Amino acid sequence: MQASILIVYTGGTIGMVQNSKSGLLKPFDVENIMAQIPQLNSINAKIEAVSTRAPKDSANMRPSDWQEIGQLLFDNYEKYSGFVVLHGTDTMAYATAALSFMFKNLSKPIIFTGSQLPIGHTRTDALENVITAIEIALLQKNNAALINEVCLYFGNKLFRGNCVTKISSQNFNAFDSPNLPPLIESNMDLEINYSLLQVSSVNKLSFNPALSEEVFVYKMHPGITEKQFSQICSAVKFNVLILETYGSGTLFNNDWLVTALSKLRKKGVEIINISQCTYGSVSALYEVSKYMANLGVISGKGLTLEAAIAKSMCLMASETTKMNFKTLFITDLAGELS
């Protein structure tokens, strides 16, 4: 049977055109994109395309949009060999992280990509990104898909979707995977890191789109006051507080902060410690932050902020996973802690 790929257009720079009045970029439609990639006709596979209901600039994406994308992929899962999702770059890493936790037991690739310049631009990076993403989605080994997970392809590299973060608003190499090497690098040939690839599951695919939005991120910084922190904690409703801390997870141990975190824990709020550093991991190296472990603050280890948010949203969405939040959060569910 002929291989087949479904392209899903969600919006973003790749499909944008200039507004004739304002001169600003706005999302267009999937037909415009397909018409500008004649190279697709030379690929030995059936390629079809569809749009989400209302393609958006990725800055406008909400968790409900991730749910729509996931549902669309799930509804078409049996019809295609693989999927390429065209998405804006600004929040793409959040989307790939979220979908990596929504799907379990994937045996087909879901590859997100996009571009820094619109597809109609003379110097666009869209053509290489889309064509190579499709080529990777079609890769097989022993008559089965080689890639069996949610990934992000950009700037000649294929990354695990829950290990990636955006690092540049201007370079074509806009993404990086700080704590996991690329799964594939595209040069003259595709250089595949087979040891990092997820193994296809023999279990039945499952899809759970439920997400809780009661997750809040606070970036710690020198000079934060008790009043500032207490006002935030009292004004905002959240079940999970993600603290972006210094270095390997360190944080000042003022009495008022210890008391504030203790109160949150007693109210049932889960607190996660994520490093502000791009590379490295949270670890208990310094006495100054040992009190956090004693309070039950969860180490985010080497998770990206995007993965920590998405994982928290998924785990908090059902009573079963909510009750086992800490155990599941420190468990590798989709390769995010590899």
Query: For the residues of 183-246, what is the DSSP string, one character each?
Result: SEEESSSEEE-GGGSPPPPSSPPEE-------EEEEE--TT--HHHHHHHHHHS--SEEEEEEB
What are the residues whose beta carbons fall under 8 Å from the beta carbon of 255, sequence distance 6 or more?
none
Active-site option among 10, 13, 113, 124: 13
Tell me the pLDDT of the chain averaged across its residues. Answer: 92
Q: Give the pLDDT score at 288.
A: 64
Token pair for 93 = 């890493």
Q: Give the pLDDT score at 25.
A: 58
The DSSP 8-state label assigned to residue 19 in this structure reads -
Residues of the chain with CATH 3.40.50.1170: 4-207
Q: Indicate whether 69 pLDDT > 90.
A: yes
Q: Indicate whether 23 pLDDT > 80.
A: no
- The percent of residues in the chain predicted with pLDDT above 70, rounded, is 94
96 is catalytic: no
Q: Give the pLDDT score at 332.
A: 96
For residues 26 and 227, the model is more confident at 227
Instruction: Please state the pTM of the whole predicted model.
Output: 0.94
What are the residues whose beta carbons fall under 8 Å from the beta carbon of 235, sequence distance 6 or more?
none
Q: For residues 200-210, give the mean pLDDT.
A: 92
| Ramachandran angles phi, psi of 186, nearest 5° | -100, 110
Q: What's the CA gap between 182 and 13, in Å, rounded?
A: 24
- The percent of residues in the chain predicted with pLDDT above 90, rounded, is 77
pLDDT tens digit sequence for 120-164: 778 888 889 999 999 999 999 999 999 999 999 999 999 999 999
Residues of the chain with CATH 3.40.50.40: 215-329
Q: What's the CA gap between 213 and 238, in Å, rounded?
A: 8
For residues 333 and 23, the model is more confident at 333
Q: What's the CA gap between 52 and 120, in Å, rounded?
A: 21
Supply the CATH classification number for the domain 215-329: 3.40.50.40
Q: Indicate whether 95 pLDDT > 70.
A: yes
What are the residues whose beta carbons fall under 8 Å from the beta carbon of 268, sequence distance 6 or more?
239
Q: Give the pLDDT score at 216.
A: 97
Q: Give the pLDDT score at 223.
A: 92
Q: Give the pLDDT score at 47.
A: 93
Q: Indicate whether 303 pLDDT > 70.
A: yes
Where is average pLDDT lowest: 28-37, 92-101, 317-326?
Answer: 28-37
Q: Give the pLDDT score at 73.
A: 98
Q: Give the pLDDT score at 114.
A: 94
Token pair for 33 = 């994109």
Short-list 197, 198, 52, 40, CA closest to 134: 40
Q: Is the dihedral of CA 282, 288, 294, 296 positive or negative?
A: negative
**For every residue of 100-159, which 3-state class applies, written as one string?**
HHHEECCCCCEEEECCCCCCCCCCCCHHHHHHHHHHHHCCEECCEECCCCEEEEECCEEE
The DSSP 8-state label assigned to residue 297 in this structure reads P
Task: Name the pLDDT band for 15 (thresholds 50, 70, 90).
Answer: confident
What are the residues whose beta carbons fall under 8 Å from the beta carbon of 215, sequence distance 6 or more?
238, 239, 240, 242, 309, 312, 313, 316
Domain spanning 4-207: CATH superfamily = L-asparaginase, N-terminal domain (3.40.50.1170)
Q: For residues 75-82, give the mean pLDDT.
A: 97
pLDDT tens digit sequence for 219-237: 999 999 999 999 999 999 9
Q: Give the pLDDT score at 286.
A: 67
Q: Are 250 and 288 in contact (CB under 8 A)?
A: yes
Q: Indicate whether 327 pLDDT > 80.
A: yes
